[in-house]
Amino acid sequence: MFKSLGLQSKIVLSILTVAVIVITLLGINSYLHYQSEYKKTADEIAQKLQFDMQRSIQKKLDIGITNAVSFASNQQLVDAVANNDRATALNILNGI
């Protein structure tokens, strides 16, 4: 079939074939680049969220330790807990 075509048709067909191959390769390259950037962005967001979560947990632990130290230094609260005096302990805690 290719032998029966004229010179102009052969050139046009060759150019079209090369163009299709180039467009296909560019499309594949673009798709791979997009996937790579998508994965990179997703990994960065996941790392940031993980860091934020760890920081939030650390803040909660710090607040919990601060509260525990505060409660332990309140002698009235310590006495109420030691004597199983729930009403007094709740009054003290509600006042904090």
Distance in angstroms (rounded) separating the CA atoms of residues 89 and 96: 11
- Residues 25-48 pLDDT 10s: 999 999 999 999 999 999 999 999
pLDDT tier, 1 (very low <50, low <70, confident <90, very high otherwise):
low
Read off the tokens for 38. 């998508």
Distance in angstroms (rounded) separating the CA atoms of residues 74 and 89: 11
Distance in angstroms (rounded) separating the CA atoms of residues 87 and 23: 79
- Residues 37-95 pLDDT 10s: 999 999 999 999 999 999 999 999 999 999 889 888 889 989 999 999 899 888 888 88
Q: Is the pTM of this model over 0.75?
A: no
